[in-house]
Amino acid sequence: MSERAEGGGALSASARRAVHWPGDAAIAMTVGVALEAFELHSQVRTEGKPGELDLFSLSYAEYGTRVGVWRLLEVLEQEGVKASFSINGRVAADHPQAVRAVADAGHDLVAHGWVNDRLMAVASEADEREMIRRTLDAIEAAGGRRPTGWASPGNMSSARTTAILAEEGITWTGDDASDDVPFVEQVGDTRMAVLPKANIDANDLLQWVMPKNAPGIFADSFIATFDTLHDEGVRGRPAWADIVLHCHMAGRPTFIPTLRTVLRHVRAADRVWWTLKSDLAAYTLEQGFTR
């Protein structure tokens, strides 16, 4: 049986849980921007193997702090959009002026591990604790405020990551792909908001760079996703849409027209709650959305 009621009305009841947004919004919209650093190589390699030093690959990533972040900050300001920047600790340590510019522009600061090619899932407990603390300290020193949210490099956390994060005062994480709207989970004595990866179909790395598609593929994929979710929200099941941009990828001039197309498409829709991920997480905790 179709979920659409006869005549195109509200969605019928189902096992899928429902949330609600401020102002009776049909859909929440967030923009995520990754500002990343690497030790051995970035996601883009022309030769060599994973785990080997690749200076060209590192230079590709360096574009993000030298050029990409500044171009994206300019575009976001022009389009009137605030974003959630997922920042590696090493970026904050080596390029504090970039993190300060992000913070001063009113964007969200999200912790994203020390470097993006060191994964939490394979670190020892001592190394993981040190990595988390050092990352939070560096971002706070550069940006003037301590992050409340965390997304592990590659979203590859360990079984103990959330407990360590809770000890460090983190209130939300993004290392989950099991749902398309946020929820609250209990971590020991702490309530943690989980913002699952609603952006898998709108990630510049996955839609443009890795498969070597034209930038327009990103727009096609996101617009199809957004329109579907917006329609579901209007018909009674509020949704969440998110995009992910990497400063060293989406910050290149080739991608900017596509980014503007996506942001303006959302601007043209009604009943949209534009928000930051930290605010979305805080609302999730306040409302107690559970699964």
Is the separation of the CB atoms in 172 and 154 below 8 Å? no
Instruction: Tell me the one-letter amino acid at 243.
Output: I
C-alpha pair distances (Å), 289 with each of 17, 190, 200: 9, 15, 22
Q: Dihedrals φ, ψ of 149, to 5°? A: -120, 160
Residue among 153, 158, 205 nearest 38 (CA):
153
Please measure the distance between the N-terminal and C-terminal CA atoms of the chain and give it in whole angstroms: 24
pLDDT in tens, 202-251: 888 778 777 788 899 999 999 999 999 999 999 999 999 999 999 999 99
Residue 201 has what pLDDT?
A: 82
Residue 5 has what pLDDT?
A: 43
Residue 87 has what pLDDT?
A: 97
Rounded distance between C-alpha atoms, residue 276 and residue 205, angstroms: 21
Rounded distance between C-alpha atoms, residue 32 and residue 71, angstroms: 15
> Encoding tokens for residue 76?
């976001």
Torsion of CA 252, 104, 222, 259, to 10 degrees: -40
Rounded distance between C-alpha atoms, residue 228 and residue 269, angstroms: 12
With a cut of 70, which residues of the chain have pLDDT below it?
Answer: 1-15
Give the global pTM. Answer: 0.90
Strand partners, 246: 34
Residue 18 has what pLDDT?
A: 84
In this structure, the number of other CB atoms found within 10 A of the CB of residue 176 comes to 16
Domains located in the chain, CATH noted = 23-287 (3.20.20.370)
Residue 12 has what pLDDT?
A: 54
Residue among 123, 76, 182, 124 nearest 85 (CA):
76
Is the separation of the CB atoms in 197 and 243 below 8 Å? no
